[in-house]
Structure 1
């Protein structure tokens, strides 16, 4: 029923697994390695057609400095911070309260409401492109940081609610009942009992939502125009020239855009793993 551990495989199968795993890892990392190498390659080598060879002259500082100064990259970076942090905090806060209500309260329509949150995660975002754009124009939030915060919060809340409701459902309900018997109000139960117990799940969800919003390109392209509210994912496209494209600068800008989410994942890796395995076993 369960997969057999690798240690118990036949020697031939285990040897093939150990040989093919590094090959698969290199193939998976090949695009990222190509971007990293291209980001330190000179424009002369690219014009000569040296795309995959090792760079003859490594121009690390020049490429990254030019990527930061050729376009308002720092402005795009700050826009991404202004969009990502409030959207992630808002979505997780709303989802924690909604998940607590769906997991602990019994009321008519509980299952239907939870099914709505689940079904919303399966709607293709391309279907919502025109309605969301028209709604942003009607509300007057098109091409604003506030508009992107609002829509990212709305779209991420459904997934976050599904995630947290299942974690809260696994908590011992006796703790909540005991607190209520002692006279604790619902807000006290939520803040003093539930939130501390699901802290690993909140940390894991924070990393996921931060990565989703930071790396978003689709909604940033649909809901912004110009440089005023554009995040860094859209700003990297500004490094493209009208007639030719300096791919070394585009690669350098892409690396800069990816650094915050990668750094946050490694900084919170322990909490991320703990959050994913929280509640996996009983006892």
Structure 2
């Protein structure tokens, strides 16, 4: 599969033993409504994936719970055999119910089952990265990650997983996971308006661990949205472009995984993330979350 050599916004980051583009792609939106069932246009979804790789993106984020199985199977059908440069991250810790809910599934047997399901649906013998997802749809919650993470560490020792990470976690759970074994990334909600992980981002950067924010525009108040829109209008850009560019500027360990089911939007996000933010605009943006 041919890929472009043009550098992507933000350059690259070394994730474990792999160099990946800091601008990645999140596959969740490829499934049907409410992340359930197949998309209306499966070939269009596969085309988005092929375009992402064709544009030079080497980091794709997915989960067998999306659909369920839908996005992983779309990825396999679109991209397998995978380019050597492609790094696919997945996650475990929740399943789906008939109502579209996300019941937690963190017992050792649940985790082993989910890992094997990801291996099967992606068509690989070893998963590049598995994130242990904690908390729920409302965000991180209290509780020990040790038993679940020890299960993943055991599967890693068996050669089924190359790298481990954590998702939707507190700083305490990050530290707890790191006492079990090494991690290469933390995936949490973080954006201009939600800066609760500022200290964690910086600590992880110092330790060479990636931080992967989701919902780059999630949870903004009307006033925060208005402030972002004003900066975007001044720069003749979209709010999403400004939000993505700010995240890349925030810290070199931040990796982006914006999702879309449209190739047009994929290209818009890619172009937008490369936006140059003048110092006065950065100062105004920084004030949004404080």
| Same fold? TM cut 0.5 | no
Structure with greater Cα Rg: 1
Judging by fraction of residues, say which structure has more strand: 2
| TM-score, with length taken from structure 1 | 0.23
Higher relative contact order (CA 8 A, sep 6+): 1
Judging by fraction of residues, say which structure has more helix: 1
| TM-score, with length taken from structure 2 | 0.23
